[in-house]
Every structure is written in structure tokens, then in C-alpha cells.
Structure 1
Amino acid sequence: MRNPLNRLAAWLSDLRLAIVLLLLIALASAIGTAIPQGDAPGQYIEAYADARWLGLLNGQQVLLLQLDHVYSSNWFLLLLSWLGISLILCSWRRQWPALQAARLWVDYGTPRQLSKLAIAESITCSDPETCLDRLSVVLNNQGWQLRKAEGRFAARKGVSGRVGPLLVHTGLVLLMLGAAWGALAGNRLERFLAPERSLDLLNREGENQLSITLTDFRIERDPAGRPEQFRSTLNLVEPGGGLDQNREISVNHPLRHRGITIYQADWSLAALTLKIGRSPELQLPLRTFSELGDQVWGLVLPTRPDGTQPVLLSLESEQGPVQVFDEDGTRLALLRPGGEAVVVKGLPLRVASVLPASGLLLKRDPGVPLVYLGFAVTLIGGGLSLVATRQLWAIATKEQLHVGGICNRNLTAFAMELPTLLQAGQHG
């Protein structure tokens, strides 16, 4: 009866278990993509109050299952740890012994032993010793390693291919360590900045370590008016004069600075510059109106000194137009940014401009170097895993040369190559 620890190790290192864990992690990642992450708890309760997520979970259940922060949840980190242990045990129990076995020289001394290999062939030679020497020269010229003995030799090629699976497992473990480290120790901050507005990042002592000022924000639209790209020009300033430079970011082109990554994540409308009657131009803040749509901004403006007879000014883009509605929802006017004033309820209104805001996502992820290293190691290991490990033995007897070989992948190609090698060894 096997030791219980050995049975447990065998179960944990089973390939089928690793596949199940990978599928569960992929499913969890899909859930983390479908459900917004890191929002306030009240937003989940409100969002799934009427319409349950997938018709199954309400807001309280989403919070209870930690689906609002999947990647730092206890169960997701447990899955990563479980898969990491499985990969380490698999490497220790299978891949490492396979590499050690590939590095050992096996000596076959009789033709009968060669006949039992996956590939075996015997050819008649007038001088088997000469054929043996010629074959060794051909193999050596093609990069094979040889170990010779009296009347025979052993050869191998592609031993580095056995390192590939070990590197793949190591890379995956590094990836998971980096992901877990980033989820537990990383920081995330989302802010909307209007042009000429600043954001100060403080260190743990409360000291300013970086000031970010939005100097320019542009929304590029297609001919139909749909947003195609957002570009923000940021001025980065470090206290003490260590840094003062302008950098541009856009969607899929973030900015990385000393462990902080700044993404162009979203856009919004910050303010409306409005001229009311003979007043100077006033910059009035905008807010979203979810009951009117996902991307509708506006403000409520009273038209009388006592605050009565309000109107709603709403718009969907920085290009306008600005629609003016009465209390009962009747549209009263249409204002163009930079256009002429329009009288609304006896009050001239003119929209001078609309101020857009850039949605910035700032992330500090200390696990990023480990993640990049893990990707690099996994790619190298994947490339090496494609290298076939071949082993070949040759024995010279009276008037015959006996050859046998094995290969861990693409055995058919090796079997087709062997006659060519024998012919080169036979005729020089």
C-alpha cells in the first residue's frame, strides 16, 4: 500500500486536475470581466436589485461571493495556489526525472536489445567497423552528442527539449505569483480630470511624490460621430525638480512611471461654459443623468431670480448640440457650442464651449515584473518543448551494422530520417 503522502502528491500532480483548475480559473476570469470590479458595494446592490446577474445572483449575493473583487478574492487566490502546487509537484515527480533520465547515457551492448526499440534496423556491410565510424562522423557533423565504446556508440540530440516543460511550469508559477502579489499589494485609482486640473499622488508618509496635470484632452471621432480614440497629454512633475515632462497617452498606449501605470480608460463631460443674458461667461459643472441614458450629461438651470421655472440643459458629446427642456419634458431650444444665443423663457442663453474630461486609471502593480518574467520563461520553455529529444545506438557485428533509436515526439519523421543516416554512414 502506497504512502498516503505519495498518493496525495500523485493526485495533486495529475494532469486532469491541472486542466480542471485551469478551466475554473478561466471561468473566474470571465466572471471578473463580466462584472465590474472594485466599485462601491452600494452600486452592486442597486445594479442587481431589479435584474439579477444572469438571472441568478442579486447584489448581496455578488458581494457575498466576492465577485466584486474576483482577482483578490480568497477562492481565486486558493485556485491559483492549488494550480501552483500542482505544477510544482508535476515538475518534481515527472519532468525533473525525465530530464535526469535524458541526461544519462544508456549503453546497449547487443543487437537483441536494439531490436526492442521503437526504431530498429540492420544493414549488411563489408566492413561494419568502417560503417560505424562513418555514421558517427555524420551524426557528429549534424550536432549529435556521441559516446563511443568498443564496436558501438550511443548518440543523442535535443536534450534541451526536456528542459522546456520545466521552464513552462516555472513560468506559469511566476505568472501566478506575480498576479497574486499584484492583487494583494497593488493599488488602483480612477479619476476624471478636466484640462488644467491636477492630481497629486502621495506616498505612505503623506508626502507628494508625483503631480499629474492634464494639459490637453482630445476625442477623435469617425465620420458618423462615434468616438474612435481618446488622447491625453499629461504633465508629470516630481517635487524637488526630479522630473518635469509632458507625455501623451491613449487607449492601448499607457504611460509607465516608476511602478505606476496610467491608462486612458474613459471620457466624460466636465463643464459647460454658458453666457446668461448680459452676464460674463460662467463655467457650470455637468453631471450624468442615468434616467436619460448611459452617456447623457446636463445641468438644471433656474430662469428666474427666485430659482423658479427651471430648465434642463442636456448633451451627449462635447460637440453638442445642447438641448433645453422644460419641466414637463418639452424641448424648448437647441443650442450649438460657439453659436448664437437663443431666448429661453425670456432669458438669452448662449453656450460658449463644452469642457470634456479625461478618464484616467492609475494602477500600481508590484507583481508586473514577475508577470513579465513569467511570460518570458513560459515562451522560452514553450519553444524548447518543440525540440524533439532523439537517442540512437549503433553496434557493429560481423558483416552487419545494427541501429536502434527512440524519440519523444514526431517518431515518424525520425524513422524516415534514419535510412538517410544509414546510407550516409554506409557510403561515406
Structure 2
Amino acid sequence: MTLLRRLAALLSDLRLAILLLLLIASASAIGTILPQGEDPALYLERFNADPWLGVINGERMLQLQLDHVYSSGWFLGLLGWLGVALMLCSWRRQWPALQSALRWIDYREPRQLSKLALAETLSSPDPKKGITNLATSLRAQGWQVQEQQGRLAARRGVVGRVGPLLVHTGMVLLMLGAAWGSLGGNRLERFLAPGRSLDLLDRSGNSQLTLTLDQFTIERDPAGRTEQFRSQLSLQPPGDNEAVFKEISVNHPLRYRGMTVYQADWSLATITVQLGRSPLLQLPLQTFPELGDQLWGLVLPTRPDGSEPVLLTLGSEAGPVQVFGEGGELITNLRPGGSSVEVNGLPLRVVEVMPASGLLLKRDPGVPLVYSGFAITLLGGGLSLVATRQLWAVEDPEHQKLHIAGLCNRNLSGFAQEFPTLLSRADEIHA
């Protein structure tokens, strides 16, 4: 039993809780700096050649689970440890403090009041009437007052004692929500071209929702820079005959049946070209990181045997499409929907460039807990700022004295400034 008490005291120590908070904050910073949830090969390729901080290479990073910090075992362990520490602290400290604050303290003797932080003695020809009138004045100011024979107890702001308990409760809910979201949540990022659909399956392989991109538009400023992009979506739940039509854009996600769809990015999906008298050819585009960011293209042969290829590159759906020869020389620029230009003896025309919408789909069952915990923590933090003030008065009819004393759990100096005002009203009563 003694060992359990010592362990509970250790786990509920404030210094341990602060240390755990610092460790969790440091881990969160690491998760923000390092890319999360990428393919393991990316970490090996990137960090084996250039170790992070000069020490941690790709293999060590995967071993330490730094590629998925927020769902790693050690991070969830820190959250659990902090949660246990907060619950023990609430049980051993905050709950008894709240119970103590709700109990009325009955001081019967003037000598008991003289030991308090604020204490004064007033001359009073009728101390009993003075206590009655003082109680009336305090009630008018919102104090709770308990009168007994020859004495008075009053308090205000007891609700502030609930604040620390609510803060601990809110933080535990936050951590439970974060852990539940990491373990039970889903995340999917896909580029979808207009007219294409995406089936979302449950763990059993059954369709939960069919998401179709009906239209995708990119809004640009006069200089051609991207300002906003929007996706018109239709959502078809299984068994429903009517689809739901919604629009999303950057900073305006869609929340539907516990799932959130974000407009995360954009890309170029396909290019439609015509070589000579050939039919229209819709060809997929790919990125070329080695040539620059936000650059797409494809290698297009101009002969039936696949020889004499040209490289087509473009940075936006509006073009221009740059055409390079085998030696890397720029042959021409083409505009989507424009006229054809002769390339290697063949007319080449770009008919259309189809952009793709980058959609991020997240299902996080812990979101309600996170929001609730955050709201409770804010409420508790606000209530913690409320000072609990207590006041006692004991009559001394033999010496015609009225003894008044007070306590405050925080901002004692503020209560000390208010205390003379209470005494002055008592003086007016007894004058």
C-alpha cells in the first residue's frame, strides 16, 4: 500500500507533468519539421545521403518511428503517461481541494481570525446588529453568506476552484481524442481528374461512399499565379438513389458523415494532342522534379517506330506547351486549343490539357473528443482566473468589538485593496 502511494505521488508530481509536456511539445515539433506518412523508400533515399541533424539517417529514422510521430508507440505512450499523471493529480489534489472549498469553515473565536492574512477589529456598540447588516451588504454584492449565533462566514468565487479540475479533464479528453484519431482514423490523398470517381471502402471491402469529381477549376491572377482552386463533387452513399452535390475549395473543406474532404492541391492529369491526321490522343502527364517545381510533361515519339521523340513540358493548364528536341533545343511553343505547328515534319496540335484536383480525405473519430476537450480546457482556464474570497466576522459583545478577517487563494493584494471598503461600510453601520 505504501509503495502504491509513493508511485501515485511520483506520477502526480507537477514537475513530472511539466517534463512530459515539454517532451510532447518537442515530439510535436519534430513531427512538424519532418515529412510524415511518406513511403519508407523516400526516407531512405533522402536521409541516408544527408542525415537529419547530421546524425539520424533514413534507417534510424524509420526505427525511431519519426516517419509517423503522432501514431508512434512512444508518442502515444507519452500521451498516456501524461493522462495518468493528470488523473492522479486531479484525484489526489484537485478533487480534495474542491471538496474543501465547498465546505464552510466555522471560526468561533476572535483569536482564530487574528491568524488570517487580513484581519481587523472594529469598535461596535451593537456587534450583533453589525453582523446582520454586514451580511445584508455582502449578499447585495453577490457573496454567499452563512450566519450563525454571534458569527458570520461569507465567500465568493468558489466556482474558480472547479477550474483546475476542468483543465485536467479537458487535457485528458484532448489526449484521448488525439490517440483515438491516430489509431482509428483514416487518411487518403488522391489526384482526381474531372469525370473520374473514387470508391471509399470499409475494412471489409464494402463501399461506404462513391466520390465523383464533376468539375475542377483553377482561378489565377493576371500574372498567372494560382489564387484559388475549386472542386465540384458528387457523393453517392450506397443504397441512396440521389447523390449529394457539394463544392470545396482551399480553406473550405467538406464535412460529410464523419469524413472531411479538403482541397489540398492541384496537378495536370492528361494532355490531348493530334499528330498529323491521327485521331485525338489523350496521354497522361507526369512530373519532372529534376526540371523544376510545378512542371509536367511527357516524351512523345513522332515516328511510328518510336524514334525521333520530342519532350512536351508545361506549367499550367493554359500553357504554353514547350516542345524540345532530342538535343534539348526548344523547337516551338504551343497553346492548348490553338493551331498546329510542324514538328519533325509532322503537324502537332495540342487540343486540351486536363487539370486534376488534389483531394485529401480524412476520417478522424477523435475530433469530437478533441473539440470537447479544447472547449473544457478553455472553460477551466477561464474559471481558474476567478479568485475565491472568504470572509469571517465574530462578535465580541463584552468588549463591544467586531472582528473581521478574510482570505483569498489568488490576487491577495487585490482583495487587500477591497478589504478596507468592506470595513468602511461596517464603520458606517456602527457609527
Q: Do they fold alike, i.e. is TM over 0.5?
A: yes
Paired residue for 2:378?
379
List per-residue Cα deviations over 1:58-115 (Å, max 9, x = no partner). Answer: 2111111101111111100110011101101111111111101101111111222112
Paired residue for 1:409?
410
Amino acid at match of 1:162: R
Shift of 1:393: 0.5
Shift of 1:41: 1.1
CA distance in 2, matches of 1:187, 1:342: 48
Shift of 1:233: 1.3
Give the 3 Å change call, closer, same or farther, for CA 260–243 of structure 1 in structure 2: farther
CA contact (8 A) 1:268 1:358 kept: yes
**Paired residues for 1:183-222 under 5 Å:** 183-222=182-221
List per-residue Cα deviations over 1:9-35 (Å, max 9, x = no partner). Answer: 222112121111111111111111222
Shift of 1:227: 2.2
List per-residue Cα deviations over 1:206-230 (Å, max 9, x = no partner). Answer: 3222110111112223343332322
CA distance in 1, matches of 2:53, 2:339: 49
Paired residue for 2:136?
137
Give the 3 Å change call, closer, same or farther, for CA 275–229 of structure 1 in structure 2: same
Give the 3 Å change call, closer, same or farther, for CA 243–139 of structure 1 in structure 2: farther
Deviating runs (4+, > 3 A) in structure 1? Answer: none
Shift of 1:412: 1.3
CA distance in 2, matches of 1:294, 1:215: 27
SS state of the match for residue 294, structure 2? coil
CA distance in 2, matches of 1:298, 1:49: 29
Shift of 1:124: 2.2
Paired residue for 1:400?
401
SS state of the match for residue 290, structure 2? coil
Paired residue for 1:154?
153
> Is structure 2 residue 337 aligned with structure 1 residue 338?
yes
CA contact (8 A) 1:87 1:169 kept: yes
Shift of 1:271: 0.7
Give the 3 Å change call, closer, same or farther, for CA 214–47 of structure 1 in structure 2: same
Paired residue for 2:304?
305
Shift of 1:240: 2.2
Give the 3 Å change call, closer, same or farther, for CA 222–112 of structure 1 in structure 2: farther
SS state of the match for residue 189, structure 1? strand
Shift of 1:250: 1.7
Paired residue for 1:240?
239
Shift of 1:256: 1.3
CA contact (8 A) 1:338 1:351 kept: yes
CA distance in 2, matches of 1:195, 1:71: 34
Paired residue for 2:19?
20
Paired residue for 1:294?
293
CA contact (8 A) 1:325 1:331 kept: yes
Paired residue for 2:176?
177
Paired residue for 1:99?
98
CA contact (8 A) 1:111 1:402 kept: yes
Give the 3 Å change call, closer, same or farther, for CA 29–222 of structure 1 in structure 2: farther
Shift of 1:287: 0.6
Paired residue for 1:353?
352
Shift of 1:270: 0.4
Shift of 1:123: 2.2
Give the 3 Å change call, closer, same or farther, for CA 242–78 of structure 1 in structure 2: farther
Give the 3 Å change call, closer, same or farther, for CA 262–407 of structure 1 in structure 2: same
TM-score, normalised to structure 1, is 0.95
CA distance in 2, matches of 1:20, 1:229: 43
Amino acid at match of 1:265: A
Paired residue for 1:164?
163
SS state of the match for residue 291, structure 1? helix
> Is structure 2 residue 144 aligned with structure 1 residue 125?
no
SS state of the match for residue 289, structure 2? coil
Shift of 1:242: 5.7
Amino acid at match of 1:406: L
Paired residue for 1:4?
3
Percent identity between the aligned chains?
67
Structure 1: give runs of 5+ residues left out of the alignment. Answer: none
Paired residue for 2:368?
369
CA contact (8 A) 1:134 1:426 kept: no
CA contact (8 A) 1:194 1:357 kept: yes
Shift of 1:268: 0.9
Give the 3 Å change call, closer, same or farther, for CA 242–408 of structure 1 in structure 2: farther
Structure 2: give runs of 5+ residues left out of the alignment. Answer: none
Give the 3 Å change call, closer, same or farther, for CA 144–352 of structure 1 in structure 2: same
CA distance in 2, matches of 1:417, 1:271: 75
CA distance in 2, matches of 1:110, 1:222: 80
RMSD value, Cα: 1.7
Paired residue for 2:425?
424
Shift of 1:243: 4.8
CA contact (8 A) 1:182 1:368 kept: yes
List per-residue Cα deviations over 1:274-312 (Å, max 9, x = no partner). Answer: 222223332211011121123211100001111101111
CA distance in 2, matches of 1:190, 1:174: 28
CA distance in 2, matches of 1:139, 1:406: 15
CA distance in 1, matches of 2:192, 2:74: 36
CA distance in 2, matches of 1:328, 1:407: 84
TM-score, normalised to structure 2, is 0.95
Paired residue for 1:84?
83
Of 363-372 and 52-61, the range deviating more from structure 2: 52-61
CA contact (8 A) 1:145 1:155 kept: yes
List per-residue Cα deviations over 1:179-232 (Å, max 9, x = no partner). Answer: 111111111111110111100112334322211011111222334333232221
SS state of the match for residue 342, structure 2? strand
Paired residue for 2:113?
114
Give the 3 Å change call, closer, same or farther, for CA 173–265 of structure 1 in structure 2: same
Give the 3 Å change call, closer, same or farther, for CA 53–13 of structure 1 in structure 2: same
Paired residue for 1:260?
259
CA distance in 2, matches of 1:243, 1:370: 32
CA distance in 1, matches of 2:250, 2:64: 32
CA distance in 2, matches of 1:327, 1:399: 111
